[in-house]
Amino acid sequence: MSQDLLNKVNEQLNAKFPGAIEASELSYDFPVFTIKKENIHDVLSFLKNDTELNFHFLTDLTGFQTADEKQLAAIYHLHNMPKNFRVRVKVFMPIDKPEVPTATDIWPGANWMERETYDFFGIRFKGHPNLKRILNVDEMDIFPMRKEYPLEDQTRDDKSDKMFGR
């Protein structure tokens, strides 16, 4: 079933947006599409509003930083509840210009998800109605989920590395 869904969505997106798909694959039996940044808003809108595909529910939206630390990505998990179809849509952007259009005009529920993604990864969602930090303090000038920040406080001396197998 997943391969059929991958093929169906691939076919429809290629017909509507030629060249917009950078990659498509099944990842753990889950259809995943990587879309060019300039096409992401139109593709998301199409996936929601197309009567056959009907991915009307945005389950989740988050971000991540690539292993080479040069790019950030926004990831959208979409769900067609009546048919119980799910897809993942990714869009990559350079870390020095982490900007992608907002999806709040497609799914109003994207509001807080985009704010959280901005708060932790620094991805700016252009057109967002109130893009500001949601969990961290407003004065914070870093994005804590990026790889350039250490996981542990380097100034702590109250723990021994031998306890952690180091």
Q: Write the pLDDT tens digit of every residue in 100-117.
A: 999 999 999 999 999 999
Rounded Cα–Cα distance for residues 153 and 166 (Å): 16
Q: What is the pTM of this model?
A: 0.88
pLDDT, one tens digit per residue, over 52-104 is: 999 999 999 999 999 999 999 999 999 999 999 999 999 999 999 999 999 99
Closest C-alpha among 101, 50, 52, 98 to residue 76: 101
Closest C-alpha among 151, 44, 31, 154 to residue 102: 44
What is the third-level CATH fold of 2-143? Answer: Beta Polymerase; domain 2 (3.30.460)
pLDDT at site 145: 87
Closest C-alpha among 66, 73, 74, 63 to residue 148: 66
Listed by start position, the domains of the chain span 2-143
